[in-house]
Amino acid sequence: MNPVSELLKQRQDTIWHVHPDDPVYSVLELLAEHEVGALVVMDAGRLVGIVSERDYTRKVALQGRNSRETPVAEIMTREVVSIGPDASMLTCMALMSARRIRHLPVVDGGTVLGMISIRDILDEVIADQQQTIAQLESYIHS
């Protein structure tokens, strides 16, 4: 199975992010526009948090807060779990399962390279299994 860096090569170079001072409403707009479930929070080019649909639901909607007035810094997860570009998909899957998270920023030397989701990993696992099955069928029929 390929490392995370191979998955990132298949994507656009865009890293969707917000600033801690942005209103939560801007997070909702970007999540909807790009059809993603989480964004990295960057300040002066540095990863300072991650904000997800789950953060919005639990820390804004359920608490009756206003998403146009609440800054991202008040709801973001500050202790970000991240992985390096050489991490395997299986390592990511195990980490996500153990930490009960669905998104992992990929960071190399303090630089955010991208973000992967559990869906990305699942797609890779399925593709890998399909390739293995095809190879085995080819071997059996030869």
CATH number of the domain encompassing residue 19: 3.10.580.10
Domain that holds residue 28: 4-141
Prediction pTM value: 0.85
Residue 13: predicted pLDDT:
67
How many domains are contained in the chain?
A: 1
Which 3 state secondary structure label does DSSP give 63?
coil
Provide block-wise average pLDDT over 10 residues at a time, the chain (142 residues). 85 86 96 95 95 95 93 96 94 94 94 93 89 90 85
Report the alpha-carbon distance of residue 22 to residue 99 in Å, rounded.
27
CA neighbours closer than 13 Å in the CB half-sphere of residue 53: 11
CA neighbours closer than 13 Å in the CB half-sphere of residue 134: 6
Q: What element of type H or E holds 134?
A: helix 118-141
